[in-house]
Amino acid sequence: MSDLTDEANQDDEGCLADLLAFIESQPDTGCLPSPVCEPIPPGHKGKLPVDNVEASRVFDILADWQNEQRGLPAGTERMRSWWACPAPVLIAGIRDALLEMPPILPGTPDLNSYDGVCWLVSMCCDELTVLQEEALVSMRVLFVLQIRDLHPSEYERTMARIRSVLWRMRRELPIWRKQMAEQRISINRTRAQSQAVAASKIYSDAARASWSQRFDAMRGVNPRLTVNSAATRIARELGLPEAAIQTIRKHLSRVNRAK
Protein backbone atom coordinates (compact mmCIF):
# COMPACT_ATOMS: atom_id res chain seq x y z
CA MET A 1 0.00 0.00 0.00
CA SER A 2 1.31 3.46 -0.90
CA ASP A 3 2.58 5.90 1.72
CA LEU A 4 -0.18 7.68 3.58
CA THR A 5 1.10 11.15 2.76
CA ASP A 6 0.85 10.31 -0.93
CA GLU A 7 -2.72 9.10 -0.42
CA ALA A 8 -3.58 12.33 1.36
CA ASN A 9 -2.65 14.30 -1.75
CA GLN A 10 -5.29 12.52 -3.84
CA ASP A 11 -8.32 14.47 -4.99
CA ASP A 12 -10.92 14.89 -2.22
CA GLU A 13 -13.90 14.41 -4.51
CA GLY A 14 -12.31 11.26 -5.97
CA CYS A 15 -11.81 9.92 -2.45
CA LEU A 16 -15.44 10.53 -1.56
CA ALA A 17 -16.65 9.01 -4.83
CA ASP A 18 -14.67 5.81 -4.23
CA LEU A 19 -16.03 5.40 -0.71
CA LEU A 20 -19.60 6.00 -1.85
CA ALA A 21 -19.10 3.54 -4.72
CA PHE A 22 -18.31 0.79 -2.23
CA ILE A 23 -21.36 1.62 -0.10
CA GLU A 24 -23.64 1.61 -3.14
CA SER A 25 -22.11 -1.42 -4.84
CA GLN A 26 -24.21 -3.76 -2.69
CA PRO A 27 -27.05 -1.96 -0.93
CA ASP A 28 -27.93 -2.92 2.62
CA THR A 29 -31.31 -4.08 1.37
CA GLY A 30 -29.72 -7.11 -0.32
CA CYS A 31 -30.20 -10.30 1.69
CA LEU A 32 -31.09 -8.74 5.02
CA PRO A 33 -33.56 -6.01 5.97
CA SER A 34 -32.10 -2.59 6.71
CA PRO A 35 -30.91 -1.43 9.16
CA VAL A 36 -28.76 -4.40 10.07
CA CYS A 37 -25.67 -2.75 11.53
CA GLU A 38 -25.21 -2.73 15.29
CA PRO A 39 -24.37 0.68 16.79
CA ILE A 40 -21.27 1.27 18.86
CA PRO A 41 -21.76 2.34 22.50
CA PRO A 42 -21.46 6.11 23.09
CA GLY A 43 -18.47 5.56 25.37
CA HIS A 44 -16.69 3.09 23.09
CA LYS A 45 -12.97 3.91 23.13
CA GLY A 46 -11.76 5.34 19.84
CA LYS A 47 -8.32 5.94 18.39
CA LEU A 48 -6.88 7.22 15.13
CA PRO A 49 -3.52 5.80 13.98
CA VAL A 50 -0.77 8.10 15.23
CA ASP A 51 1.49 7.67 12.18
CA ASN A 52 1.95 5.74 8.92
CA VAL A 53 3.52 2.78 10.69
CA GLU A 54 0.56 2.31 13.02
CA ALA A 55 -1.87 2.90 10.16
CA SER A 56 -0.21 0.13 8.15
CA ARG A 57 -0.38 -2.22 11.12
CA VAL A 58 -4.04 -1.46 11.81
CA PHE A 59 -5.12 -1.90 8.20
CA ASP A 60 -3.06 -5.08 7.83
CA ILE A 61 -4.96 -6.50 10.81
CA LEU A 62 -8.21 -5.42 9.18
CA ALA A 63 -7.16 -7.07 5.91
CA ASP A 64 -6.36 -10.34 7.71
CA TRP A 65 -9.73 -10.17 9.44
CA GLN A 66 -11.48 -9.67 6.11
CA ASN A 67 -9.73 -12.70 4.64
CA GLU A 68 -10.78 -14.81 7.63
CA GLN A 69 -14.38 -13.66 7.32
CA ARG A 70 -14.65 -14.01 3.56
CA GLY A 71 -17.80 -15.88 2.67
CA LEU A 72 -19.08 -15.86 6.24
CA PRO A 73 -22.73 -14.67 6.13
CA ALA A 74 -24.01 -11.83 8.24
CA GLY A 75 -25.06 -13.09 11.61
CA THR A 76 -24.07 -13.56 15.22
CA GLU A 77 -20.68 -15.11 14.51
CA ARG A 78 -19.61 -12.43 12.04
CA MET A 79 -20.91 -9.68 14.31
CA ARG A 80 -19.00 -11.03 17.30
CA SER A 81 -15.88 -11.20 15.16
CA TRP A 82 -16.38 -7.62 13.92
CA TRP A 83 -16.27 -6.30 17.47
CA ALA A 84 -12.81 -7.82 17.87
CA CYS A 85 -11.38 -6.23 14.69
CA PRO A 86 -10.07 -2.62 14.39
CA ALA A 87 -13.25 -1.27 12.74
CA PRO A 88 -15.19 -0.28 15.91
CA VAL A 89 -12.15 1.52 17.36
CA LEU A 90 -11.64 3.41 14.09
CA ILE A 91 -15.32 4.36 13.95
CA ALA A 92 -15.19 5.71 17.50
CA GLY A 93 -11.94 7.55 16.72
CA ILE A 94 -13.53 9.25 13.71
CA ARG A 95 -16.62 10.06 15.80
CA ASP A 96 -14.52 11.71 18.53
CA ALA A 97 -12.54 13.75 15.98
CA LEU A 98 -15.71 14.88 14.21
CA LEU A 99 -17.06 16.21 17.50
CA GLU A 100 -13.97 18.43 17.80
CA MET A 101 -14.00 19.53 14.17
CA PRO A 102 -15.34 22.94 13.17
CA PRO A 103 -17.88 23.74 11.90
CA ILE A 104 -20.19 22.06 14.40
CA LEU A 105 -22.24 19.27 12.84
CA PRO A 106 -25.87 20.23 12.19
CA GLY A 107 -28.63 19.20 14.58
CA THR A 108 -27.95 16.65 17.30
CA PRO A 109 -26.18 14.00 15.23
CA ASP A 110 -26.06 10.33 16.22
CA LEU A 111 -22.51 9.32 15.34
CA ASN A 112 -22.79 5.93 17.05
CA SER A 113 -25.16 4.22 14.63
CA TYR A 114 -25.08 3.44 10.93
CA ASP A 115 -28.49 5.05 10.46
CA GLY A 116 -27.42 8.25 12.24
CA VAL A 117 -24.34 8.58 10.06
CA CYS A 118 -26.37 7.86 6.90
CA TRP A 119 -28.90 10.53 7.88
CA LEU A 120 -26.19 13.17 8.20
CA VAL A 121 -24.64 12.28 4.83
CA SER A 122 -27.95 12.16 2.96
CA MET A 123 -29.88 14.99 4.62
CA CYS A 124 -27.20 17.50 5.65
CA CYS A 125 -24.53 17.16 2.96
CA ASP A 126 -24.84 20.85 2.02
CA GLU A 127 -23.87 21.80 5.59
CA LEU A 128 -20.79 19.53 5.75
CA THR A 129 -17.23 20.20 4.68
CA VAL A 130 -15.72 17.71 2.22
CA LEU A 131 -13.55 16.20 4.97
CA GLN A 132 -16.53 15.83 7.32
CA GLU A 133 -18.51 14.05 4.59
CA GLU A 134 -15.58 11.77 3.76
CA ALA A 135 -15.17 10.93 7.44
CA LEU A 136 -18.85 10.04 7.76
CA VAL A 137 -18.76 7.86 4.64
CA SER A 138 -15.64 6.14 5.99
CA MET A 139 -17.64 5.32 9.13
CA ARG A 140 -20.37 3.83 6.92
CA VAL A 141 -17.85 1.62 5.14
CA LEU A 142 -16.47 0.32 8.44
CA PHE A 143 -19.99 -0.31 9.75
CA VAL A 144 -20.98 -2.21 6.60
CA LEU A 145 -18.13 -4.68 7.18
CA GLN A 146 -20.44 -6.18 9.80
CA ILE A 147 -22.61 -7.63 7.04
CA ARG A 148 -20.57 -7.92 3.84
CA ASP A 149 -17.11 -8.62 2.45
CA LEU A 150 -14.83 -6.27 0.62
CA HIS A 151 -13.77 -7.94 -2.61
CA PRO A 152 -9.96 -8.29 -2.72
CA SER A 153 -9.85 -6.02 -5.76
CA GLU A 154 -11.67 -3.22 -3.93
CA TYR A 155 -10.15 -3.67 -0.48
CA GLU A 156 -6.82 -1.90 -1.05
CA ARG A 157 -8.31 1.04 -2.90
CA THR A 158 -11.17 1.53 -0.43
CA MET A 159 -8.97 1.23 2.64
CA ALA A 160 -6.39 3.57 1.08
CA ARG A 161 -9.15 6.16 0.83
CA ILE A 162 -10.08 5.69 4.49
CA ARG A 163 -6.41 5.94 5.47
CA SER A 164 -6.23 9.23 3.59
CA VAL A 165 -9.24 10.56 5.50
CA LEU A 166 -7.79 9.46 8.85
CA TRP A 167 -4.42 11.02 8.04
CA ARG A 168 -5.99 14.36 7.21
CA MET A 169 -8.17 14.29 10.30
CA ARG A 170 -5.18 13.51 12.52
CA ARG A 171 -3.15 16.28 10.87
CA GLU A 172 -5.93 18.85 11.43
CA LEU A 173 -6.91 17.77 14.95
CA PRO A 174 -4.29 19.86 16.82
CA ILE A 175 -5.34 22.90 14.79
CA TRP A 176 -9.03 22.31 15.58
CA ARG A 177 -8.28 21.92 19.28
CA LYS A 178 -6.28 25.15 19.31
CA GLN A 179 -9.05 27.01 17.50
CA MET A 180 -11.69 25.68 19.89
CA ALA A 181 -9.51 26.56 22.93
CA GLU A 182 -8.98 30.09 21.58
CA GLN A 183 -12.71 30.39 20.93
CA ARG A 184 -13.49 29.34 24.51
CA ILE A 185 -10.93 31.85 25.84
CA SER A 186 -12.50 34.60 23.72
CA ILE A 187 -16.00 33.69 24.92
CA ASN A 188 -14.88 33.67 28.56
CA ARG A 189 -13.09 37.00 28.13
CA THR A 190 -16.17 38.59 26.55
CA ARG A 191 -18.38 37.21 29.32
CA ALA A 192 -16.02 38.54 32.02
CA GLN A 193 -15.96 41.96 30.38
CA SER A 194 -19.75 42.05 30.22
CA GLN A 195 -20.01 41.08 33.88
CA ALA A 196 -17.47 43.74 34.83
CA VAL A 197 -19.39 46.41 32.92
CA ALA A 198 -22.66 45.30 34.52
CA ALA A 199 -21.09 45.24 37.99
CA SER A 200 -19.68 48.75 37.58
CA LYS A 201 -22.90 50.26 36.27
CA ILE A 202 -23.88 53.40 38.20
CA TYR A 203 -27.51 53.34 39.25
CA SER A 204 -29.38 56.60 39.85
CA ASP A 205 -30.37 57.87 43.29
CA ALA A 206 -34.00 57.26 42.34
CA ALA A 207 -33.24 53.62 41.53
CA ARG A 208 -31.41 53.14 44.80
CA ALA A 209 -34.28 54.78 46.70
CA SER A 210 -36.71 52.35 45.07
CA TRP A 211 -34.57 49.45 46.30
CA SER A 212 -34.83 50.79 49.85
CA GLN A 213 -38.61 51.18 49.50
CA ARG A 214 -38.97 47.63 48.22
CA PHE A 215 -36.78 46.35 51.02
CA ASP A 216 -38.87 48.15 53.64
CA ALA A 217 -42.07 46.71 52.15
CA MET A 218 -40.59 43.21 52.14
CA ARG A 219 -39.41 43.61 55.73
CA GLY A 220 -42.94 44.71 56.67
CA VAL A 221 -44.24 41.34 55.47
CA ASN A 222 -41.29 39.30 56.74
CA PRO A 223 -39.19 41.02 59.46
CA ARG A 224 -36.65 38.15 59.31
CA LEU A 225 -35.88 38.72 55.63
CA THR A 226 -32.13 39.02 55.09
CA VAL A 227 -30.41 41.66 52.98
CA ASN A 228 -28.96 38.94 50.72
CA SER A 229 -32.39 37.42 49.99
CA ALA A 230 -33.94 40.84 49.48
CA ALA A 231 -31.23 41.93 47.03
CA THR A 232 -31.75 38.77 44.97
CA ARG A 233 -35.53 39.24 44.89
CA ILE A 234 -35.30 42.93 43.99
CA ALA A 235 -32.88 42.26 41.11
CA ARG A 236 -35.12 39.50 39.80
CA GLU A 237 -38.32 41.57 40.06
CA LEU A 238 -36.70 44.53 38.28
CA GLY A 239 -35.11 42.37 35.59
CA LEU A 240 -31.61 43.49 36.50
CA PRO A 241 -28.50 41.43 35.63
CA GLU A 242 -27.05 39.08 38.21
CA ALA A 243 -24.11 41.45 38.72
CA ALA A 244 -26.56 44.05 40.13
CA ILE A 245 -27.34 41.83 43.12
CA GLN A 246 -24.04 42.74 44.79
CA THR A 247 -24.65 46.47 44.20
CA ILE A 248 -28.15 46.24 45.67
CA ARG A 249 -26.89 44.22 48.63
CA LYS A 250 -24.20 46.80 49.43
CA HIS A 251 -26.71 49.64 49.20
CA LEU A 252 -29.28 47.92 51.44
CA SER A 253 -26.62 47.00 54.00
CA ARG A 254 -25.38 50.61 54.15
CA VAL A 255 -28.92 52.01 54.52
CA ASN A 256 -29.83 49.35 57.08
CA ARG A 257 -26.81 50.21 59.22
CA ALA A 258 -27.65 53.92 59.10
CA LYS A 259 -31.12 53.38 60.56
pLDDT in tens, 102-120: 888 888 889 999 989 988 8
Least reliable range by pLDDT among 41-45, 55-59, 193-197, 215-219: 193-197
Instruction: Name the least confident of 56-60, 122-126, 193-197, 214-218.
Output: 193-197
Tell me, rounded to whole angstroms, the distance of Cα 170 from its chain centroid: 16
CB-side neighbour CA atoms (13 Å) of 31: 5
Question: What are the extents of the domains in the chain?
Answer: 4-174, 205-258
CA distances in angstroms from 16 to 25, 125, 171, listed in the order given: 14, 12, 18
pLDDT of 197: 59
The pLDDT value given to residue 37:
85
pTM of the model: 0.61
- What gap in Å lies between CA 223 and CA 163, rounded to an integer? 72
pLDDT of 49-100, one tens digit each?
Answer: 988 899 999 999 998 998 888 777 767 788 888 999 999 999 999 999 998 8
